[in-house]
Structure 1
Amino acid sequence: MLAATAISLLSSGAAYAAEGGANDALLRKLEKMEQRIQQLEAELKQKQDRPAADAEAKRTAKTAALASANAAAPSADTKNATAKPADQKTEPQSSEKSTKPKSKDFMALPPLPAASDKPILGLADSPVPGLSIGAYGEIKFGTMQNPAAGGQWQKGFDAARFVLLPTYAITPNIIFNAEIEFEHAGAGFDNDDKLHGTAEIEQVWIDFKIIDQFNWRSPGVDLVPFGYINQHHEPTQFYSVNRPELYNGIIPSTWKVPSTSVYGTITEDLKYQVMVSASNEDFGDSFDNRTDAKTVPLPGTAYIAGIDGVNALGFSRPPLGDFQQLNNATAMSGRLDFTPTFWAGFAGSISAYYSPNTTPRGAHDDFGNFLGRSSLAMFDAEFRYRVPDTGLELRGEYVRAEFGHPENLRANNDTDPTNNVGKSMYGYSGEIAYHVPLGTILNSEWEAVPFYRYTYMNLQTGGVAGTDANLPTGQGQRQYHTAGFAVFPSPKVVLKATYQRVIDKSATGALSDSFLGGVGFFF
């Protein structure tokens, strides 16, 4: 019995010794891990302990980007952040330009920027604490049919736009944003400079970041929260050379207005923006044709419609400067962005817009009869889906505009029967694309995205009483077949080639086909 007990004790001791040795080895490993963590923390602290101005500049600039990323509808603010690769665009995106990093708490200290993500055009650290400057632009070239020349094919070139995107974090909660745009190569048109362009403030406002659920955007110039491309219209965000067709009329992109708005995050899956703005106007003529009384030209003088059955709402946007608005109506608009966590790769939005009156002061027909009020209500639904673990991407969109009293629209009262407007306009599109990795070229991961998009628009849904003959001409009922590819040498640069076939029911046909190439950038 004693012998058995002794043997048992010796065995337990040996096991204990073995276990103790294992514990000692584990403790030594933990000590080494702790030393390594302390070393890494010291290295991180050394990087963060840079000169105060430099650290503050990066911190506030990145805080501005993160704060904007949490906005329900960031318009220009995503432009001031690093662009997301085209193949990631269907990941959760806010309504402004969802290329920014996400954060549930925009007050959290952001990570140090990478060398390619510095606040001044991605190239340099900011010389002013809180300042960040981005840019985007696009060049177009190719050949297209000119319907005004009987469908003759004509070659051309367009330095379409170059845009600067300054952002300044006044404080981590008060963020200034602007977008300064130069279009079509210049700011004027003189015989000796061969320019025919514009320079304009496309956006300017100050964000007051209050809480994730509720933030305020001060009165300024901002993008109407309607559709996706209107707020994400940089050339890296779509694959064709020109913007998708629904945004060239029914949605008058870039749709910018004098406005103020509130926005925020409802849940992790849902964001919102609600805007109050100046109303669109049924006046498409130049500023020279506005009287000093802020009315349309006096009866007896013709003027161009802002809403018609050929250009849709393309010329109806309200003026942005010098108290030149032609009516007192206030419009309301709003948008919900959803990025369901249970459906990886899917994102979408629904939008609405309403103006109680688009009729400008003094509106009249060509015979001197004054026109009454006409309201405008619009709806849009769109989705983007990047199928997980594949290169397949799908997009779709539907938009509709309803007119309260189309008989009071200028297009139905200008003695031109070809541009009449019915009770409504609508359009829809579907797009399929596939992302193909091309490998490493010039020290960058390249990607090709072949795509096809079908679009149908009906801008002349039927005859409505007015002074004109009110039968649809077929010119406003169009189909667009758009195919091509986009090559991304970097997520910030895109090379494009597009063929578009346009079909309508007019007597001559659309005569608007095109072969176009383009170069775009966004950083």
Structure 2
Amino acid sequence: MKKTLVAQALSIAFLSTAIVFPAHASEAELLQRIEKLAAELDAIKAELAATRKKTDVVEQKQEALASTVSASIAPVAASGAAGNGATGASSGAGSWAQSTVVTSYGEINYTRPKNATNQAETDVARAVIGITHRFDEKTKMVAEFEWEHAVTSADDKGESEVEQLYVEHEFNNGLRAKAGLFLMPVGLINTNHEPTAYYGVHRNFVETAIIPSTWREAGFGLSRTHDNGLTWDLGLTTGFDLSKWDTASADGTESPLGSIHQEGQLAKSHDLSMHAALNWRGIPGLLIGGFVFTGKAGQATADFAANDSRVTLWDMHARYTPGLWDLSAVYTRGTISNTDALNLTFIGQPTPVPSSFYGWYTQAAYQLWKNEEYSFTPFVRYELFNTAHSYSAVPQGLGIAPQADEKVATIGASFKIGEGVVLKADYQKFKLDSSRDRLNLGVGYSF
């Protein structure tokens, strides 16, 4: 490529000297031709510079990839050497080089309500930059930084946040310990929520309204994966702050726990919470698991009527991918206890604190077509959820009626370009509130 461009440049230079004194060209024509040739020469120079720049970028990426691959292969090689009688020193930290990997994902969505087309909107839903730095073969740092809704300022709806920030160390027996801000191992998409990893333009309601998405807490965690396919997680972390509940806002109706989530932002930590998760992958293509979280949410707030309130959330989930099928299901239920006295102070307000909320969904997808570059996967999902299934008892005539279950049917498809880009389309039908029926289109990426 470079030789061709250089040859073109030399040819133009030669031609420019050849036409300086043609037999019948006027001075104006000569100047015009010279200016044209000069412009073409400048364009070729620019193209050469761009080519050199692209080559440099490719070489840098190749070097980075080689470093990452070396880091990934090193422990395997070291293990093999040890198995052949090598000493422990041969597999020590000296054989490892530090490595840093940058990842990213993002999505842009278009939503058009069926009965209110004038409310159609396009949203840069999120853009995320991730950095993983491996200090050695057993210790790493993971960070993710997210921007939502394109613009972040005091007058805009956008948010800028740290989605994850933790360090993790693996011991010789396979036990992993981490400390920092990390995602809760609940449901199917909370820890695997890139747009290329789930079906539908928007994340499903059960794993956003009942399980807050993306739910993260600051604290300490332990985990281990066994040879039989069993993985367990235990943790002690921050929890929820019920004093943040806003009775005049619809936030609590949209997501009870999402409205009192602290997200590591000056999180009140008088009351800490515990969680445990168990997942089994003992059969190829099958995942079965469960999760439970519990902790007080009053945070010893002064003059607060619900300091003994406790938040508990649990779920059961399964996913099976036999052949071209992708089948999944989630059931989750949450409670907020000891809210009687608090709700008495909320009499007359539209959004008291619910004592229970729950939801479930089933989903089936089938990869209808695939070649070396593209794949097309239709899917269907049915979900039921209720963010205020029940309220604690209050004096007769002063209470508020529980909400009815909302049921949503979603049908759509994902069109993947390679493994990193996805185009999505779906239509959602709401049983309880048909005014929410909508068409969704989206594009997302992940690398």
Q: Specify if TM > 0.5.
A: yes
Q: Distance in 1 between matches of 2:168 and 2:78?
A: 14
The one-letter amino acid paired with 1:407 is D
CA 471–141 in structure 1, closer or farther in 2 if over 3 Å, else same? same
Partner of 1:298: none
Residue among 241, 253, 256 paired with 2:213? 253
Change (3 A) 1:234 1:433: same
CA contact (8 A) 1:460 1:472 kept: no
2:162 corresponds to:
201
Is 1:141 aligned to 2:110, yes or no?
yes
Q: 1:470 aligns with which of 393, 399, 402?
A: 399
Q: Is contact 2:248–2:351 with CA below 8 Å preserved after alignment? A: no
Deviation (angstroms), 1:261 = 0.5
Cα deviation for residue 332 of structure 1 reads 0.5
Note the C-alpha offset of 1:263.
Answer: 0.8
Alignment of 1:17-28 (within 5 A): none
* SS at structure 2 position matched to 1:227: coil
| Counterpart check, 1:393 vs 2:293 | no
Deviation string 1:336-375 (CA, Å, 9 cap, x unpaired) is 111123xx321121111011334661365xxxxx344211
- Correspondence for 2:292: 352
Shift in Å at residue 61 of structure 1?
A: 5.4
1:447 corresponds to: 375
Q: CA deviation at 1:245?
A: 1.0
Identity of paired residues, percent? 23
* 1:301-340 matches, cutoff 5 A: 308-321=252-265, 323-325=266-268, 328-340=270-282
CA distance in 2, matches of 1:452, 1:386: 15
Whether the 8 Å CA contact 1:61–1:132 is kept in 2: the answer is no
1:516 aligns with 440
1:178 to 143, 146, 154: 143
Please tell me whether residue 266 in structure 1 is matched to residue 226 in structure 2: yes
- Specify the alignment match of 2:364 in structure 1: 432
**In 2, are the aligned partners of 1:337 and 1:348 still within 8 Å (CA)?**
yes
What is the SS of the residue equivalent to 2:119? strand
Contact map agreement 1:239 1:449 (CA 8 A) in 2: no
- Asked if 1:130 corresponds to 2:99, the answer is yes
CA RMSD of superposed structures (Å): 3.1
Measure how far apart 1:324 and its partner are. 4.5
In 1, Cα distance between equivalents of 2:249 and 2:306: 13
CA deviations over 1:36-67 (Å, ceiling 9, x no partner): xxxxxxxxxxxxxxxxx86883246547xx99
Q: Over residues 259-302 of structure 1, what are the superposed CA-to-partner deviations in whole Å (9 max), with x where a residue is unaligned?
A: 210111133311111111111122446xxxxxxxxxxxxxxxx7
Q: What is the CA distance between 1:158 and its match in structure 2? A: 0.6
Structure 1 outlier segments of 4+, above 4 Å: 53-56, 105-109, 302-307
Three-state SS of the structure 2 residue aligned to 1:132 is: strand
Q: What SS does the aligned partner of 2:68 have?
A: helix
Whole-angstrom distance in 2 between the partners of 1:55 and 1:137: 23
> Structure 1 pair 178/409, CA: closer, same or farther in 2 (3 Å)?
farther
Question: Are 1:309 and 1:459, in contact at CA under 8 Å, matched by a contact in 2?
Answer: yes
Secondary structure, in 3 states, of the residue corresponding to 1:237? coil
Aligned-residue offset at 1:459 = 2.7
How far did residue 516 of structure 1 move?
Answer: 0.8
Counterparts of 2:393 and 2:341, CA distance in 1:
9
Q: Which of 241, 258, 265 matches 1:281?
A: 241
The answer to whether the Cα contact below 8 Å between 2:114 and 2:439 also exists between their aligned partners in 1 is: no
Matches within 5 A, 1:149-228: 153-189=118-154, 196-218=157-179, 220-228=180-188
**Number of equivalenced pairs:** 369
Structure 2 CA distance for aligned equivalents of residues 433 and 129 of structure 1 = 40
The structure showing larger relative contact order (alpha-carbon pairs under 8 Å, at least 6 residues apart) is: 1
**Structure 1 residues without counterparts, runs of 5 or longer:** 1-52, 68-104, 110-127, 286-301, 365-369
Q: Identify which of 481, 485, 488 aligns with 2:409.
A: 481
1:108 deviates by 5.4
Deviation at 1:473, TM superposition (A): 5.0
Per the TM alignment, residue 309 of structure 1 is displaced from its structure 2 partner at its CA by: 4.5
1:500: which partner in 2?
A: 428
User: 1:267 & 1:224 partners in 2: Cα distance?
Assistant: 23
2:436 is paired with a residue whose SS is coil
**Cα offset for 1:422?**
4.3
Cα distance, 1:510 vs. partner?
5.7
Bigger Cα displacement from structure 2, 172-181 vs 208-217: 208-217
Distance 2:166 2:434 in 1: 40
CA distance in 1, matches of 2:330, 2:242: 25
